[in-house]
Chains A and B, each alone.
Chain A
């Protein structure tokens, strides 16, 4: 146990108090398209020039919606997980689906697509499920950008893969064994497909700002300490190692390359979304255009979030030649479903949001978010100054609250750069406020801080802030990614870490016990395919040779078990858990069937059995237990009791 990092007292405040949809915004659900498959998840989403909404569904269906008549019409079907769509005309769409970027057109004018033209399939597919082909975006010049997800260690590759296989990219947690997985891609106007930037893990969302700068998000995981927003520039590397396989001039195996070398190559994120408080799985980037009827935030960016019901607002500024800035929750909580994955502006300037989940945390349906035209009380911008930050509010602030330093409890920290999953907040340090200056009109508050530290996230939750008219600040939690100072920025400290020291528990002196009368067939830990958990003998009372010690991250164990009969059998997992419950997902034959609670057993050497029914096929089955959030208990063995009839 290491000593507790300093935790600022503000973290104990419930987040419902810190983030909320401002009362000037309302959320209404849109009726769902009549999917043949009863599919309620919405993936791609855009508006046609004639004002109709187009949506793509995970089932491969594409529907058009006439908002006036509230009528849905099937436009196309049979696509492979279409995750994004650009409406180029009233009869033609550009769709990103797993195998390609496709132009889907209605050539004969009967209202239904009849031509599916490949715009590009010049990228690889290993067949790994995590190799998503995320949404395409098109700039004013007609160039198209799209992004390719990496493969997951949750599965391997297929027998036949498309594109040149390179084993250098195959190792590691998230892999890139076929061309350009983990890249943002550009399709030029003359039809060339080129990798535009490298180092992306799960780049689920591209978007331009009003100046035409391209942005992409990424999800926390290996090499990504917390989720991020990058300003995409040609040839740059943004941190996730696997895709370096495809970067000209890069030699060696990316995942085995020294973290220091990688840290020196990487470009920093414009915005880091603190994990667990701001966003865990950011999605699309959408600029608030002058045409958007969405309040006094024109030019800023919206970023969707999968894991909670939230849309984040991003305020950027150029400092020392690079974009950086702050993020703040904006639309938050019920009735916005989780899984805000794709967004588009309706002709009336309201925001349409498609919700999805794809087996992760998320939601379903379509929401319309509209603004009533009254000015909300929000932070309109947060800018770096030489000595602190300048906050501009949409309305004058209450001067007495704003001038109290206790209103502004800053802290700063950084995330580590390493190949392990996620990162704790490092070096969390409170930052004092030295002086506060409020402008005459009451809208601008300048804070002088005791220290500004480059390459650190500066975060605060304004305490009790209200407007001069007494309206509470709906969204008071902000995080500013301070990479560069206005002047004299020190060199990037890189913040890399080598391999973590192996867990002490991987070896141990615990004493095993002999198993007595198992009621089913016993599968030991040694029989399981381990993805993450270490073998350990630290604590007493296990059976067999070892038990499995779940570490932090999405680790899993998978057994191949056989059954003489098909039907409902039982599984019994023997485990010990010296802390509070650590649930694990149960995946039987590739299908998630339950989340097993795994309550604490009181101590690490006190072993209990967890029994759960399991539907088995005759013959071979796979039983997989997967960490849901952070970790799991120590697992000793699995017993399978075959179906009785």
Chain B
């Protein structure tokens, strides 16, 4: 017994290293948390995002630092298993950082959040950069070059993606009617090329929210093959929500529950409809949708007026464009519902500070509302980031 304890102590000593110095770690952290950097996907706590971005905390993949450096340098595209969980999102090669910075970042990651790993030197990164093939790595290439020890192979490697996984890359619009959180049971989940996703509610003929990070809804095979009870879920947080007076954002968790005794409200009590047309009494009546090149154009009726709503990602995929057509055209007020996380502009008229857009009949014939995700506020890194070398 004693010998056993001693041998563990000895083994621990044998692989122990002195922790990298604090300044180095601080510089690494600043780079890690810099705008557009690692933090955007792997997040500040290094936990990644379920299903799409693998965690860096306690990850078996960090067991070989040469592997880590290679993935940072060349990127990794393809489904991987990390600590027995599946992740699908591709990691791009980190072209913005020179060898010194990559060394600092990996050193930080190796020692952040309770990780204990070696300090990485600039020379190590240079050597890797010189020896690795130029291509973005595939899971197979990584596993061949940097194999896992036998006892880690089951939990780490690659896998064959199913349809849900492949939805992480949207190359055509995907339209599902399904149960969505924060909407009536008559909801749509739509994924657009450009990886913009939205929830549209046929129960009240209104857009509910838009999100882009974290991938489209998941788990639908479970949903569809069972009794149909589960509500679809997704990993991201909406950057735009069209609030209404009956629905407050703090209800999020409750909005995803299915076992209420009584509802928060029923759609016969719904109010604050986005469109106000004089003489036309709400609520709007949902009429259906037409697929135009695969994109749904919803139609709903208010009084004698049919409103057509077609939603696409912006060209640069930083938001969505909602194109409206009103038939027959009529003077109207559109309550856009602002969200501090989104920037909203209209092709006709002006969205005022309360989110009201007043349009003449001529303007209402066809107009577009653009909703962009605002850049999240990220503090400027404390370290000097001048003079980035190119490779």
Contacts and interface: CB of A to CB of B under 8 A. Distances in A.
Interface of A: 36-39, 41, 57-60, 77-81, 97-100, 102-103, 107, 113-118, 121, 124-130, 132, 155-165, 167, 170, 178, 358-360, 590-592
A58 B262 contact: no
- Top 10 nearest A-B pairs (CB, nearest first) are A129-B229, A99-B186, A80-B177, A127-B185, A156-B259, A165-B266, A117-B288, A125-B185, A78-B175, A164-B268
A590 B227 CA distance: 10
B290 interface: yes
Nearest to B267: A162
B290 A358 contact: no
B288 A98 contact: no
B260 A159 contact: yes
Contact of A165 (B202, B228, B262): B262
A80 B187 CA distance: 9
B262 A37 contact: no
B151 interface: no
Contacts of B222: 591
Most interface-central of A38, A162, A178, A360 (chain B CB within 10 A): A162
Interface string B279-291: 0000000111111
Interface string B248-269: 0001001101111111111110
A326 B291 CA distance: 48
Given A60-B176, A98-B186, A162-B185, 11 more contacts: A98-B228, A99-B186, A118-B288, A121-B202, A125-B185, A157-B261, A159-B251, A160-B184, A163-B267, A170-B262, A178-B266
B274 interface: no
A163 B227 contact: no
A116 B292 CA distance: 12
Interface of B: 163, 174-179, 182-186, 202-203, 220-222, 224-231, 247, 251, 254-255, 257-268, 286-292
27 contacts: A39-B224, A39-B225, A57-B224, A58-B224, A58-B225, A59-B225, A60-B178, A78-B174, A80-B178, A97-B177, A98-B186, A98-B228, A118-B286, A118-B288, A121-B186, A126-B185, A126-B263, A127-B179, A128-B258, A155-B258, A156-B261, A157-B263, A158-B258, A160-B185, A160-B247, A165-B266, A359-B225
A645 to B, nearest CB: 10
Contact of A358 (B175, B183, B227, B292): B227
B247 A37 contact: no
Contacts of B231: 158
Most interface-central of A160, A161, A165 (chain B CB within 10 A): A160
Contacts of A359: 225-227
B178 A159 contact: no
B304 to A, nearest CB: 16
A125 B255 CA distance: 15
B266 A163 contact: yes
Contacts of B263: 126, 157-161, 165
Contacts of A97: 177
Nearest to B85: A566
A160 B203 contact: yes
Nearest to B270: A160
B268 A127 contact: no
Contact of A37 (B221, B261, B266, B268): B221
Most interface-central of B176, B225, B231, B290 (chain A CB within 10 A): B225
Contact of B262 (A60, A80, A157): A157
Contacts of B178: 60, 80
Most interface-central of A41, A116, A130, A592 (chain B CB within 10 A): A116
Contacts of A164: 266, 268
Nearest to A589: B230
B277 to A, nearest CB: 20
Given A159-B251, A159-B257, A358 B264 contact: no
A590 B229 contact: yes
Nearest to A40: B225
B184 A161 contact: yes
Contacts of B289: 115-116
State the main secondary structure of chain B at its contact with A. mixed
Contacts of B287: 117-118
A129 B288 contact: no
Contact of A162 (B203, B224, B258): B203
A336 B200 CA distance: 41
Nearest to A102: B288
A117 B306 CA distance: 13
Nearest to B186: A99
A116 B261 contact: no
B189 to A, nearest CB: 9
A115 B184 CA distance: 22
Contacts of B262: 157, 165, 167, 170
B176 A78 contact: yes
A524 B258 CA distance: 24
B229 A125 contact: no
A160 B224 contact: no
A468 B267 CA distance: 66
B386 to A, nearest CB: 42
B175 A125 contact: no
Given A115-B288, A170-B261, A359-B227, A99 B202 contact: yes
A79 B258 contact: no
Given A157-B262, A159-B260, A360 B229 contact: no
A79 B251 CA distance: 28
A162 B227 contact: no
Contacts of B185: 98-99, 125-127, 158, 160-162
Contacts of B227: 129-130, 358-360
Contacts of A57: 224
A159 B255 contact: yes
B264 A159 contact: yes
Given A78-B177, A98-B185, A162-B184, A59 B224 contact: yes
Given A114-B291, A155-B229, A167-B262, A160 B183 contact: yes
Contacts of A117: 287-288
A359 B229 CA distance: 11
A158 B176 CA distance: 19
A100 B255 contact: no
Most interface-central of B175, B203, B222, B292 (chain A CB within 10 A): B203
B254 A159 contact: yes
Contacts of B247: 160
Contacts of B265: 160
Contacts of A170: 261-262
Contacts of B259: 155-156
B287 to A, nearest CB: 5
A592 B222 CA distance: 10
Contacts of B176: 60, 78, 80
Contacts of A178: 266
Contacts of A77: 175
A193 B148 CA distance: 63
A118 B301 CA distance: 12
B57 to A, nearest CB: 13
A98 to B, nearest CB: 7
Most interface-central of B224, B254, B262, B265 (chain A CB within 10 A): B224
Nearest to B229: A129
B288 A156 contact: no
A568 B354 CA distance: 51
A63 to B, nearest CB: 15
A156 B186 contact: no
Contacts of B174: 78
Contacts of A116: 288-291
Contacts of B251: 159
Contacts of A155: 229, 258-259
Contacts of A81: 224, 228
Given A116-B288, A158-B263, A163 B268 contact: yes
Contacts of A360: 227
A99 B260 CA distance: 19
Contacts of A78: 174-177
Contacts of A103: 288
